[in-house]
Chain A
């Protein structure tokens, strides 16, 4: 395994891991703010307990998301210094904006919200609850803008060997960014919804606080279903974007070696992962690939082999086809699971309409495991989009192997990978245990005096940690 592989493994591991906690935080922060608003409007002690209960899950997720986010901020310089020198003029700006506009907001108001019970007035406390999802949502905006520039660079010029920003507006109106950001927002909604639904279903099966958990199950179900159904439209747009800006990525995702028109969609195939490996197609749907890739019934989709030849003419000799097996299966894991989740959501809506949601044993059993699916879908999604850009680190401008640190050595990456492996798995296991334990413990008991003193004259902070 060479330096490039090690550095890529490190970046992929830390990013995928970080992104387990990011969408949970974004989604839960939004739904906790909704719950907090419900409590603000109705003022019942039960709603306060519900808000604090799901807020507790959010806090565990944030604590891991924040610290692993530090790694993300540093590692462009650590392992990818030539990349950083090349793109810093364009790529650094959204990162710095992310810190100033989003991280400060999220972190500062998180402290205010967490320690604000009984200290802030009810109205101000509600505002702090909404600042957390706002900050989290803004942070995703800037980082997806930066990532989209790597997928489809625009608003730049090449000057003295580096990319220089010429239009910040172009960076934020990149179609890859706009649809990519919507995609991530919906991912957050799916994660948050699934979390509410999973936890609520677990409690409904045990008949603990059925009134409260039926309400949160419905909120979670709505978020999950809206997120998943809208994702089909956004995902479709992303496919069409890829056809325009990164044709190699979509061709690889379909294991489509030769140009076709109209193109059928391969539901399931064996082989076909390289040009001289003819696939055995087991299920095909006519015209569907044309529809997904171009939005038209008979659209043309370029094949990997002709695209590779075009790239060789433009960029010189080399292999420009990403790993087709990873592309093909990550796309299918994501799309097939999303279909199942959407059907599951419709099943839930039907039960809700029949007034059986809170008592349907089979549905609640499935629902209590549904939280697994967003992790699989989002990980597959990142493989699809990042592995699909290979061998480029910035599409068409810089190859991944040219972005490595000039001073890098395999031995120091091995050491840091070891640190990451031990640290991340320990923290991941602990965070999972703590979240499960918190979720199973159910609604917290309220100190009898705490609710009354919300607007008291001389509030003192309580021992929260």
Chain B
């Protein structure tokens, strides 16, 4: 019972991570496209300024809850994806410091450098995480002790690559939908254009991945139901996005799509955690990889108390910064804090 609860909690953290950090990856990746001048770029960056750091904690918590609830999963998965995860860390490091560093000097080359770091980091991160998460289901050569026995090439599974690409596309769509709610001026107009252009390619990718996922997953009717969620939502996002409905409707639809797709991956995975292509008997499962009952009980109490509080104050943050970001005359001269 408790291992399953924790599987759901881990899936919830990964889902929340992509729902929240997904749009700030998208904004980061697109900020030089929606913003041509430095001020326009800053408008884009500042739409996610107050929230990106809190969003990234979802990744930390997703990893830490894998460690605490399924130590074997954390150990096998992270050591198998050694180099991709280091590149992910490098991408997140460059991206993370770019927010703070970019505004510290006014020189155009300095700003362009850190804009590039923000863009590259925001593109690589969802791509690499997507490949890694896809590998869980597509399977990796893992031996009886849970150790990865393959090489770097084995990590590039076709399904993983497609999932990575799809999550990247979804982040871009999600980010441009967020910009249509928060940006002003030229950045807003370009975000609207981008949103329309991204709709159909992204929807196609999501539908292909959803079908492939159902094929790969353990047979079960409820995976079909779960697959319907992102599939319907991405169509809704495309319809609202292309017809120029209120920005919030499109953003709502992209939220359900990206969250639904990540949740679908975990639904398709259950009760397996990591498929072994060497021998199905070596696959890590909820049953053979979980922490002890006592440890899970302690963690459950902690999660039940803290998760609602966290959701509460993060929601409040979004309420506080609900207004559109604009470049007033004061901002053009004000120094960064």
Interface residues of A (CB under 8 A from B): 52, 55-56, 59-60, 63-64, 66-71, 73-74, 76-79, 81-82, 84-85, 87-93, 95-101, 103-105, 107-112, 114-117, 119-120, 159, 162, 164-166, 168, 405-408, 412, 415-416, 419, 423, 427, 430-431, 434, 437-438, 444-445, 447, 449-450, 459-465
* Docked pose: A119 CA to B97 CA in angstroms: 24
- A445–B337 Cα gap in the complex (Å)? 10
Are A415 and B83 touching (Cβ within 8 A)? yes
Asked whether any CB of chain A lies closer than 8 Å to the CB of B63, the reply is yes
State whether B336 touches A81 (Cβ < 8 A).
Answer: no
Task: Say whether B76 contacts A81, CB under 8 Å.
Answer: yes
Q: Given the complex, which residues of A lie within 8 Å of B82, measured CB to CB?
A: 78-79, 405, 407-408, 412, 416
Judge if B64 is at the interface, Cβ distance under 8 Å.
yes
Instruction: List, in ascending order, chain A residues with CB within 8 A of B85's CB.
Output: 74, 78
CA distance A317 to B71 in the complex (A): 30
Chain A interface: which of B163-171, B193-201, B211-219, B300-308? B300-308
Closest B residue, CB atoms, query A95: B64
A70 to B74 CA separation, bound complex (whole angstroms): 15
B75 A88 Cβ-Cβ under 8 A:
yes
B244 in contact (CB, < 8 A): no
Given A76-B67, A81-B147, A112-B317, do A88 and B90 touch, yes or no (CB 8 Å)?
Answer: no
A108/B317 contact (C-beta < 8 A), A71-B89, A407-B82, A423-B93 known: yes
Residues of A within 8 A of B326 (CB): 460
Q: A74-B85, A84-B75, A88-B75 are in contact. Are A460 and B294 (CB under 8 A)?
A: no
B143 nearest in chain A by CB position: A406
The CA-CA distance from A459 to B324 in the complex, in Å, is 11
Q: Which single residue of chain B is at the shortest CB-CB distance from A434?
A: B104
Q: Does B79 contact A77, Cβ atoms closer than 8 Å? A: yes
Are A93 and B75 touching (Cβ within 8 A)?
no
Of the candidates B60, B96, B294, the one whose C-beta lies within 8 Å of that of A165 is B294
A77-B327 Cα distance, complex, nearest whole Å: 44
- Are B78 and A81 interface neighbours, CB within 8 A? yes
A238 to chain B, nearest CB (A): 27
> Does the CB pair A100–B310 fall under 8 Å?
yes
With both chains docked as a complex, state the minimum distance between the C-beta of B71 and any C-beta of chain A, in angstroms: 2
Contact of B306 among A91, A101, A419 (CB under 8 A): A101
> Nearest CB to that of B51 among chain A residues?
A111
A111-B51, A407-B147, A465-B336 known; A88 and B60 CB under 8 Å?
no
Please tell me if the beta carbons of A166 and B100 are within 8 angstroms of each other in the complex: no
Q: How far is the CB of A22 from chain B (nearest CB, A)?
A: 15
The interface residues of chain B lying within 8 Å CB-to-CB of A119 are 320-321
Q: Which residues from chain A contact B39 at a C-beta distance below 8 Å? A: 463
Assess whether B292 is interfacial by the CB under 8 Å rule. Answer: yes
Q: A434 touching B67 by the CB < 8 A rule?
A: no
> Complex formed: what's the CA distance from A108 to B49 in Å?
11
How many chain B residues touch A (CB < 8 A): the figure is 84
A166 touches B294 (CB 8 A): yes
A70 lies within 8 A of B60 (CB)? yes
A111 touches B90 (CB 8 A): no
Sample (16) of A-B pairs whose CB atoms are under 8 Å apart: A64-B97, A74-B85, A76-B78, A85-B72, A88-B72, A89-B71, A92-B67, A99-B57, A100-B307, A110-B54, A116-B320, A119-B321, A405-B75, A407-B148, A461-B46, A465-B100
Sample of 11 further A-B pairs with CB below 8 A, known A89-B292, A438-B104: A52-B337, A67-B97, A70-B60, A78-B86, A82-B75, A84-B75, A97-B302, A416-B86, A431-B97, A461-B46, A464-B336
Is B330 in contact with chain A by the CB < 8 A criterion? Answer: yes
Among B49, B52, B78, B83, contact of A74 (Cβ-Cβ < 8 Å): B78
Task: Find chain A residues with CB under 8 A from B317 CB.
Answer: 108, 111-112
Cβ contacts under 8 Å, A114 to chain B = 49-50, 337
B274 → chain A, closest Cβ, in Å? 12
A73-B60, A108-B54, A406-B145 as given contacts; A92 in contact with B92, CB under 8 Å:
no
Contacting residue for A103 out of B46, B60, B92, B292, CB 8 A: B60
Note all chain B residues with C-beta closer than 8 A to A416. Answer: 82-83, 86
For chain B, residues 263 to 312, give those with C-beta under 8 angstroms from any C-beta of chain A: 291-292, 294-295, 298-299, 302-303, 306-307, 310
Chain B residues closer than 8 Å to A93, beta-carbon distance: 68, 295, 298-299, 302
A125 to B79, CA, bound (A): 42
CA A162 to CA B75, docked complex, whole Å: 13
